[in-house]
Structure 1
Amino acid sequence: MKDYFSAEEKERLLEAIRLAEQRTSGEVRLFIESRCKYVSAVDRAQELFFELKMDKTADRNGTLVYVAMEDRQVAVFGDEGIHQKVSQKYWEEEINKMLLHFKQMHVVDGLCQCIADIGEALYQHFPYNSQTDKNELPDDIVFGK
């Protein structure tokens, strides 16, 4: 697996995830791999979403940001709780914004902005409750093949 990010860039991405989750019960994960073979990026993101057990959150408000670096494919897959709140159009807009950054070779900026935007949407619909909320999924970057 090629290392696509420097240590500093990885830390920026992790910090974006932590900040996105700070004000919400929602969960955000980032999955990076080199290629998306045999399926669309959305289908691959959905497959990974369930493999990572992201559908097990209490409010069904997990979101996976997926990138196939070599194929230049991206997808955002949100669980049913958040998807019902923001709609398909929201995910498509986030993908388009991310791709604009990618075309300018600002991949980390595009990912951080997407994660921040998702965090804001999660905050709007699933604000943090200190009495009941806990971090249900790891705050990490998952690297595939």
Structure 2
Amino acid sequence: MAFFSFLKKNRFFTHEEAEKVVGAIRDAETKTSGEIRVFVESHCRLVNPVDRAAEVFWNLKMDHTVERNGVLVYVASKDHQVAIWGDEGIHRIVGSEFWTEEIKKLMHHFRQNAYADGLVLVINDVAGILETHFPYRATTDKNELPDDIVFGN
């Protein structure tokens, strides 16, 4: 799991950008049994955003997937913090270095105020890893979690 800060403009993203992110999640989940969610809130209630990402992950019951392959991208917009939390099934495969590299990519886009583009890039990268290790199986796979962006306070 990893975290870093980013620069923020007044509004995080438009309705169209949010639809782009949700579309990327839906497309990703047609290729894998894994589950990807994005959670955006203004302030991180905890000192460490990774700890908050873990808390949100469990509150959203993302640890209830059959293969323990859920991934949460956490954003605290006004605190300029992001984190990625992968459940034990996927984290065991990719390790901390993968999440750190994804955070770097996300931050690069966020510094350019390209929030949706950064999220879509990370979603696609995570989807590629999930597809390799947790491919979609038409006969048994089901969408275990909603594909929408979750907005906190």
- State the TM-score, normalizing by the size of structure 1: 0.96
What amino acid is the match of 2:149? I
> Structure 1 residue 3: deviation in Å?
6.1
- Alignment-mate amino acid for residue 38 of structure 1: L
Q: Detail structure 1 runs of 4+ shifted over 3 Å in the superposition.
A: none
> How far apart are the structure 2 equivalents of 1:128 and 1:26?
8
Within the candidate set 37, 62, 71, 2:79 is matched to: 71
Deviation, 1:36, is 0.8
User: In the alignment, which residue of structure 2 is the partner of 1:49?
Assistant: 57
- Are 1:91 and 2:96 counterparts? no
Q: Residue 26 of structure 2: SS of its match in structure 1?
A: helix
CA distance in 2, matches of 1:100, 1:3: 18
Secondary structure at 2:29 match in 1: helix
* Among 122, 127, 137, the residue aligned to 1:119: 127
Query: What is the root-mean-square deviation in Å for CA atoms of aligned residues?
Result: 1.2
In the alignment, the residues of structure 1 paired with residue 132 and residue 151 of structure 2 have an alpha-carbon distance, to the nearest angstrom, of 29
Which of 18, 36, 56 aligns to 2:44? It is: 36
Q: Deviations over 1:75-115 (max 9, x none)?
A: 00000000011111000100011001111111111011011
When normalised by structure 2's length, the TM-score is: 0.91
Structure 2 partner of 1:15:
23
Unaligned runs of 5+ in 2: 1-9
Question: Paired residue for 2:142?
Answer: 134
Aligned-residue sequence identity (percent) comes to: 56
Counterpart Cα distance in 2 of 1:143 and 1:49: 13
Deviates more, 1:34-43 or 1:70-79: 34-43
- Note if 1:26 corresponds to 2:42: no
Mapped contact 2:24–2:123 kept (Cα < 8 A)? yes
The more displaced of 34-43 and 115-124 is 34-43
Count of residue pairs the alignment pairs up: 144
Question: CA offsets per residue over residues 45-101 of structure 1, 9 Å max, x none?
Answer: 000000000000000000000001111110000000000111110001000110011
Which whole-Å CA distance do the structure 1 matches of 2:45 and 2:147 have between them? 26
